[in-house]
Structure 1
């Protein structure tokens, strides 16, 4: 059996070796057992059910939450020569009948369906008459109230075990802390399932947090050095999505907006243009992403702080699915936290409010970390790395601690002198000696704290006040115009009885990636010029076939081609990601491009 599994892995998908835990999971499902799989995005979850579906008799039924995700996965399988289809509301009547005919004729290896379609009485009765290989429940965290993306329609899936007691069920997710894992297993009645927890670490992603100051400038600085890369910029509100996207477009970037307030047709068009590399940057709310199977997203930017670590992890995980280097940038501003807390405080369910506030506080803890960020991130999910990651901003550039005791006393004193009735903007204006009409009208230009901070800029004082709020020396009432007030803890600091330090604020978003000829990708030395040429070949083939470029080959496969420079079909088949069907379909074009490149003496 092991030989058959490996032969299928190579013949269909073009891989010589399994990733961690994949073979064990495949063998478990092949034996007819239930499985729960927690594996990071890009870790190869799909293969864990696709291979058993090909090797077990019958059709593999895959539950997927989004129509767009089904289409991408079916396109990718068909490119590998697999008989796959989806059955959902996007199909016309004739198309739906054709898929059902293929299903009943035994001509499908895999069928992708939405949970509500699967659990309809008519469809369940139809499946009961057919040989079934397995049920795969993708994005299984959607079934849990503890999950960050709970979907009520997933709840019915718990009935599958009752309807099909002999068919193996494999539930898969990339994001589930212990409460969510327990809930998934209970709701799907998978008490006897084997659990495979391969970990959350995505070592190819570099995590960076910078203090949010002039965020549009910071964002433009970040994307400017990455003009050829695909990226996603997440914002908390639709209004901000539109504003940020307009600014990027006005600055000459290839960007498009995506949020639930746009017409369905426009959202579909934006997503398709992004998948086909016709637009480089998507500016979006969290409504965008789960349905994206695009492997060559090189960065994810959070323009606003996410409400929980699960969402942050899931969204940043959309970068670097191909295993090549990727970046996750968070612009961290305390004002965003206050807005998020204000929204959570409006929640009427006290238990839900408590959970959400706890999750937001852990997200803030990640952003405020002075040690390895990956340790904080993985620790939330119950993992304890033995050493620092070496691939986050803290590890690469440890923060410089500065003494802010005297400046903190100035800020606290100014808050007190203005009567604890104003927000940060007014306090900073007084500290810096502003001649604003309002300050003069209120007589605040006569205060003892007026102008005592004129030697520092506004951004510096903003950092000081945010730090005082974060450390509990000041409170900020978001429901009362963000008025600042001293807490009991402020008085010992104000009297000079204790010191205070903070990390020097970071506002730079990091240098652009290196350019040039032969550079390092992940573990493969490759020729960048040849890689770019192969990307053009892939793009032309994708447009001809009407599929996204990554369906042809992932960037990682092109990197390996650009490193090894195969000269014939045998050498091409030795490249990871080149199976027999893809070699037959695309091999001639890529081999010709490589030969032309080499003959030109490059």
Structure 2
């Protein structure tokens, strides 16, 4: 390549795009296309793939046809090219969104030689009328964006992409450039084979994005965690991915209710709404877009500071591409995924009913994402290994949670040797789950039918569970001691390095894996990230205030606020009436009646002690639970027997009394005299009522002991409800 040619390309780059120099392999790729060579580009998101076909299209005679799967993405690309040209005709889209008049205008511009780039959906390209038209005009080259759609092993396989080669051949014998941001060695091979591009010039950039921070969190109380996370990054741009359209709409509304500027984006919205929401995000009118885990949104925004996965995606390719939308400007981008195995089980259900081969592929892709989520080794190292790239994890510089907070390591030489012996003994014909069951000594149907339980190494690792052995498999894979045969859906094979290890065993440090076994919906306080020790100093002050008000009003202290409510106040630190109603056992009525002095005390305490209040833990909910409460009150107003109410709702008597207590404790008056008159005579009622009037505590146990068991727990509870309703509300 002559100096003149290089300078001409640089001049063109400066003229059209305003850049002084190319990035990475861009210049070589562009030269390959201009030299009419088939070209295959694997370049991570944000690496500058678009430039690789845009500039040669502008410099070539005729029109370049760019196949793109997403209308929104085409619109972005066309707008960008028109901005660097004096004539809007330089770039067009041809897809189902165009009217017949608009489509005819596009074809006229192509015939006139004005259009250099034409973006088409694969479906539009298969129409015979369009094929006939393209054969009549000059085509410079074909570009296939998101080329991984060709491969059934790609994360968004599209059958229509597999017809592209025959369509190209029917139109014109011109070079092809295929581009993708995510391609494992298997996907790369599949693309080249399908497009008959074995001779293509291959350009593969490193998949490492060293400005991205990767983190996986257990999926517990996820909406609160997301709100807390975003509030700490006020004004920053971010994308949140969800598994379903319904969750997109719910979460975007929850974010708005909690003061976060967010909009939803999914394929079920009409095109104008999607475009409006996308533009609002690009123009920084909204901070956060909540979107379905889909092929892509066509959002090319350089300053996305965080990408959150509310649900784990279907594959590591999806995950890599979606996280790749963060930090395109070179600034730090944080990629946080919330993981619970139940999400994987949901995705597995979606595979049911599909062809067997497709199910096998889907399960293998899910296994990879589970392995990434659960691993405790450097996430960057694991991710890059998946894409066929070796990485020295000492360079991660704590840019993933596992390197920032390393797990303990133990000597695993014996376990690694055990694993390798098992792989050999099973004739390198089994997948990881079978091998783990074999080592653990589990008599599965498959193990028994193959008589693997009779082999010498069966149960050789029974002191460890299958979770442990899965971790060993993952770490042996990344270390290159074993490999996974994709063609046979993940069968584990030995490598030369593995055989060498068995000949000369050496130290191998195993990293303890994460435990994500706690259920997402766990009610455990610690699991939800709420501190389990309350503020003793504030609690004592609130007790003293309650005692003072109790003396002034001549009512028992527990009538004002129960101890559980006071403890919750020391966790939440409410300073407004609205915040006080979020406290356990406090409704609007009780907040109005008794709240003011407590709020004053708490506010003063917070200011004096410079306490950072965890208000992000108090998330406003969209769920309206008042319907059942109203229905229960209406049934009591109609004087229905409590047994009838419990039977009609399919609940026990205890559960109904629990609900009535919650209603009364939160400040709503309920009259159950009609029911009490049926079970207790007037003197008994008066005796119990007088007891609660003078008691220091509302403890049922103390009341039961006081009356020596003369009254049942149920009777005491119901009388306490009557007392609290009349005295507290």
TM-score, length-normalised on structure 1? 0.65
Structure 2 unaligned residues grouped into runs of 5+: 411-436, 444-458, 470-510, 517-525, 530-729
356, 359, 370: which one aligns with 2:362: 356
Instruction: Kindly indicate whether residue 81 of structure 2 is the aligned counterpart of residue 111 of structure 1.
Output: no
1:79-134 deviations in whole A, cap 9, x for unaligned?
Answer: 11262222222233333222222111111221211122223222222222222221
Q: Which residue is 2:602 aligned to? A: none
Structure showing greater Rg: 2
Residue 472 of structure 1: how far off its partner (Å): 8.2
The answer to which structure, 1 or 2, has the higher relative contact order (CA under 8 A, 6+ apart) is: 1
> Structure 1 98/165 Cα, relative in aligned 2: closer, same or farther at 3 Å?
closer
Residue 473 of structure 1: how far off its partner (Å): 11
Report matched runs for 1:481-500 at 5 Å: 492=463
Contact 1:161 1:188 in 2 (8 A): no
Q: Which residue is 2:373 aligned to? A: 367
Q: Which residue is 2:657 aligned to? A: none
Q: Which residue is 2:299 aligned to? A: 292
Instruction: Kindly indicate whether residue 72 of structure 2 is the aligned counterpart of residue 71 of structure 1.
Output: no
Q: Which residue is 2:6 aligned to? A: 2
Q: Which residue is 1:205 aligned to? A: 212
Residue 173 of structure 1: how far off its partner (Å): 0.6
Q: Which residue is 1:57 aligned to? A: 61
> Structure 1 491/153 Cα, relative in aligned 2: closer, same or farther at 3 Å?
closer
Instruction: Kindly indicate whether residue 141 of structure 2 is the aligned counterpart of residue 151 of structure 1.
Output: no
Report matched runs for 1:290-439 at 5 Å: 290-344=297-351, 346-388=352-394, 389-394=396-401, 396-401=403-408
Most deviating of 234-243 and 324-333: 234-243
Contact 1:38 1:172 in 2 (8 A): yes
Most deviating of 166-175 and 319-328: 319-328
Identify, as 1 or 2, the structure richer in helix: 2
Contact 1:402 1:502 in 2 (8 A): no
Q: Which residue is 2:666 aligned to? A: none
> Structure 1 322/502 Cα, relative in aligned 2: closer, same or farther at 3 Å?
closer
Contact 1:401 1:502 in 2 (8 A): no
Structure 1 unaligned residues grouped into runs of 5+: 404-468, 476-487, 510-602
Residue 144 of structure 1: how far off its partner (Å): 1.7
1:23-47 deviations in whole A, cap 9, x for unaligned?
Answer: 1111111111111111111111111
Report matched runs for 1:90-169 at 5 Å: 90-164=97-171, 166-169=173-176
Counterpart CA distance in 2 for 1:12 and 1:98 is 25
1:252-277 deviations in whole A, cap 9, x for unaligned?
Answer: 00112223444444333323322332
> Structure 1 117/239 Cα, relative in aligned 2: closer, same or farther at 3 Å?
closer
Residue 392 of structure 1: how far off its partner (Å): 2.7
> Per the alignment, in what secondary structure is the counterpart of residue 190 of structure 1?
coil
Counterpart CA distance in 2 for 1:33 and 1:402 is 50
1:477-518 deviations in whole A, cap 9, x for unaligned?
Answer: xxxxxxxxxxx9998579xxx9x9665889899xxxxxxxxx
> Per the alignment, in what secondary structure is the counterpart of residue 61 of structure 1?
strand
> Structure 1 491/134 Cα, relative in aligned 2: closer, same or farther at 3 Å?
closer
Contact 1:42 1:323 in 2 (8 A): no
Counterpart CA distance in 2 for 1:492 and 1:40 is 42
Report matched runs for 1:229-244 at 5 Å: 229-244=236-251
Residue 402 of structure 1: how far off its partner (Å): 10
Q: Which residue is 1:531 aligned to? A: none
CA RMSD after TM alignment = 3.2
Counterpart CA distance in 2 for 1:402 and 1:189 is 47
Instruction: Kindly indicate whether residue 222 of structure 2 is the aligned counterpart of residue 215 of structure 1.
Output: yes
Q: Which residue is 1:44 aligned to? A: 48
Q: Which residue is 1:28 aligned to? A: 32
> Per the alignment, in what secondary structure is the counterpart of residue 305 of structure 2?
strand
Report matched runs for 1:448-459 at 5 Å: none
> Structure 1 260/473 Cα, relative in aligned 2: closer, same or farther at 3 Å?
farther
> Structure 1 11/308 Cα, relative in aligned 2: closer, same or farther at 3 Å?
same
Counterpart CA distance in 2 for 1:259 and 1:161 is 31
Counterpart CA distance in 1 for 2:527 and 2:65 is 48
TM-score, length-normalised on structure 2? 0.55
> Per the alignment, in what secondary structure is the counterpart of residue 384 of structure 1?
coil
> Structure 1 102/343 Cα, relative in aligned 2: closer, same or farther at 3 Å?
closer
1:360-381 deviations in whole A, cap 9, x for unaligned?
Answer: 1111111122121000001011
Give aligned pairs, total. 428
Contact 1:399 1:503 in 2 (8 A): no
Counterpart CA distance in 1 for 2:129 and 2:512 is 66
